[in-house]
Amino acid sequence: MPKSPAAVPNEGVLDVLIIGAGFSGLYQLHELRKRDFAVHVFEAGAEIGGIWYWNCYPGARVDSHVPNYEYSYSQLWQEWTWSERFPGRDELSGYFRHVDAKLELSRDISFSTRVSASHFDADEGLWHVETEDGRTAVARFLIACTGFAAKAHIPEFQGIETFAGPCSHTAHWPQDGIDMQGRRVGVIGTGASGVQVIQEAARSASKLTVFQRTPMIALPMQQQRLDGAAQQAAKGDYAGFFSARDASDGGLADIEADSRSALEVSPEERSAIFEEKWQRGGFHFWFPFSDTMTDRASNRLTYDFWRAKTRARVKDPALADKLAPVEPPHPFGCKRPSLEQWYYDVFDQDNVTLVDVREDPIEAITATGVQTAAGLHELDVLVLATGFDAGTGGLTQIDIRGSSGASLKDVWADGVRSHLGIGVPDFPNLLILYGPQSPTAFWNGPTSAEVQGRWVVDCLCHMRDANLERIEATPDAAEGWHEHMQSIADESLLQEADSWYMGANIPGKHRELLFHFGVREYVEHCERSAANGYAGFSLS
């Protein structure tokens, strides 16, 4: 049941106001509250969970396997077990209810409260926060935990408003669902949510039409049912597991690339390593060798193995050419791979049709379906799996204004400038978690919430102990971090793909690498900054 909003603290000044009650926001609330900060959360959803409140479309499922995808607090994992290696949305909702019951978080959260504006008053040194329903709050520090996928992208399809049946972006899916049983369903987009919806729709729809622009390089999930007794037995090693997770290069304790180049080993050994990682499933195959993302030849070998495995599952050669083409649509792994269970198998079903919109482009949406150059595809239900304005969109859709009065949206129009992805020049006491220019897209949410989150909690405690009231990234540090991000792009194959990693999926958006690739290196930068009095930030 949706929760009633906690009383909004209209009187007095908060120490910290947090935007968002996902993994990062909840971690901040719990840890800062323990340290006697006056802290409150504004959450747009009706329950805690962040993206896992909104992700209620058919097939919604996490792509980081457990126990990686949970908090490391022993009071939480000691009394919780999972039913699947990659839990679905319903089980994740149950997990968040468990977290809430144990940590009593909801009493300091205002639900169904969407922040519309946040303005910093330089004279007062305070953030004034406004919500869409007219409520306000004042805080010394503003911590933005909006996540990387808080703003859905819906292309400007001509006539979309005329479609007569249910039409929804996966991020806006009705909480009570959409019935697809026996209906003609169209899915536009083959990203992560598209893959998941397609798998489910193929089982229930009388006809499913998939509109594909770019083939999805999806990896085998290798889903497994989990045994409760085996999980309990493994918990004796959980403390070490979570330490290893935090120290890993991708926020996943048991996934590491082979330290060698794919070109250093014999074809037989390389094939064996590929096969072992393929069979382990999940993201094990994303970075099989140390140079998968930096060496074009190594990358192509990885793609060729993936292609052979995938084409073997598609009976129709013409379909195989569309789903797993001979030439890669982009360097392997440079768009985030989805995890699939039976995605490629559905295209051999009689009720499933694939439309390549590069060859047969969408011209309009009509009352009865999708009009392409070749004709009308009649539909009863239309699903928009068209992605997100990732990284920056969730922040810039809020009117956030710093000490000069300039908006974050305008300041970032020609590229993101931040230090460590946490602080922004001219925006004092604004701290961003799981946002642009940190490893957001390359580690999982709970790991980021704890590793990056500890840095913020420690920083605020340091400031309080030293009677410091203001923290702001310096322009020089932000420019240096921008150059560092560009060097990562230059040294990898990431910028060769038109991905949301590069902001390339949004028309008119500045093209740049939005997420730090290399978690260990990122954490080292954060630790050096803290050890040197939070170098790169002006504290006063």
386-404 tens-digit pLDDT: 999 999 999 999 999 999 9
pLDDT per residue as tens digits for the range 202-240: 999 999 999 999 999 999 999 999 999 999 999 999 999
pLDDT value at position 205?
98
> How far is the C-alpha of 476 from the C-alpha of 530, rounded, in Å?
17
C-alpha–C-alpha distance, residues 234 and 231, integer Å: 5
Phi, psi (rounded to 5 degrees) for 387: 85, -160
pLDDT of res. 2: 47
- The closest alpha carbon to 117, from 430, 409, 427, 401, belongs to 401
Q: What is the pLDDT of residue 146?
A: 98
Calculate the alpha carbon distances from 241 to 27, 72, 110, 235, 520 in Å: 19, 9, 34, 9, 17
Where is pLDDT greater, at 5 or 277? 277
Q: Which whole number is the average pLDDT over 66-95? A: 97
Please say if the pLDDT value at position 246 is more than 50. yes
pLDDT score at 250? 87
- CA dist 424 and 472 (Å) reads 7
Distance in angstroms (rounded) separating the CA atoms of residues 212 and 329: 12
Mean pLDDT of all residues in 181-208: 98
Token pair recorded at residue 358: 């590069």
Contact 130, 116 (CB under 8 A): yes
What does residue 474 show for φ and ψ, rounded to 5 degrees?
-80, 150
Tokens of 438: 């940190």
| pLDDT at res. 8 | 54
User: DSSP secondary-structure letter at 481?
Assistant: H
Q: Please, which residues have CB within 8 angstroms of residue 321's CB and are 6 or more apart in sequence?
A: none
pLDDT for the residue 1: 44
Is the pLDDT at 180 greater than 50? The verdict is: yes
**CA 224, 226, 227, 230 torsion: positive or negative?**
positive
**What does the mean pLDDT of the chain come to?**
96
Of 283, 241, 221, the residue nearest 77 (C-alpha): 241
Q: Is the model's pTM score more than 0.85?
A: yes
Map residue 64 onto helix, strand or coil: coil
pLDDT greater than 80 at residue 4? no
What pairing do the DSSP bridges indicate for beta strands 352-356 and 362-365?
Answer: unpaired
Segment 485-510, tens digit of pLDDT:
999 999 999 999 999 999 999 999 99
pLDDT at 12 (0 to 100) = 83
CA atoms within 13 A on the CB side of 282: 23
Query: 384: which residues sit within 8 A by CB, 6+ positions away?
Result: 154, 167, 168, 169, 170, 188, 189
75: number of Cβ within 10 Å: 11
The structure tokens 């504290």 sit at 539
pLDDT at 73: 98
Q: Residues of the chain with pLDDT > 90: what percent? A: 97
Do the Cβ atoms of 355 and 377 come closer than 8 Å? Answer: yes
Compute, in degrees rounded to 10, the torsion defined by CA atoms 507, 215, 263, 265.
140
CA 155 to chain centre: 20
User: b/e string for 524-533 if b means 16 or more Cβ within 10 A?
Assistant: ebbeebbeee
Separation between Cα atoms, residue 516 and residue 145, nearest integer Å: 17
Q: Of 72, 78, 25, which is closest to residue 52 (Cα–Cα)? A: 25
pLDDT score at 9: 55
Residue-level pLDDT at 251: 87
CB–CB of 351/205 below 8 Å? yes
Q: Express each pLDDT in 320-365 by its tens digit.
A: 999 999 999 999 999 999 999 999 999 999 999 999 999 999 999 9
Contact 534, 459 (CB under 8 A): yes
- Tell me the average pLDDT across 15-37: 98
Please compute the mean of the pLDDT values over residues 311-315 and round it to a whole number. Answer: 96
Interval 425-469: pLDDT, tens: 999 999 999 999 999 999 999 999 999 999 999 999 999 999 999
Closest CA to 250 of 337, 163, 330: 337
Per-residue pLDDT at 5: 47
pLDDT, tens digit (0-9, with 9 covering 90-100), for 135-174: 999 999 999 999 999 999 999 999 999 999 999 999 999 9
pLDDT above 80 (res 7): no
Question: Phi and psi (nearest 5°) for 40?
Answer: -145, 155
CB atoms within 10 A of CB 521: 13
Q: Which of 40, 4, 1, 2 is nearest to 21 (CA)?
A: 40
Domains of the chain: 14-151+390-470 (3.50.50.60)
CA-CA distance, 147 to 51, in Å (whole number)?
8
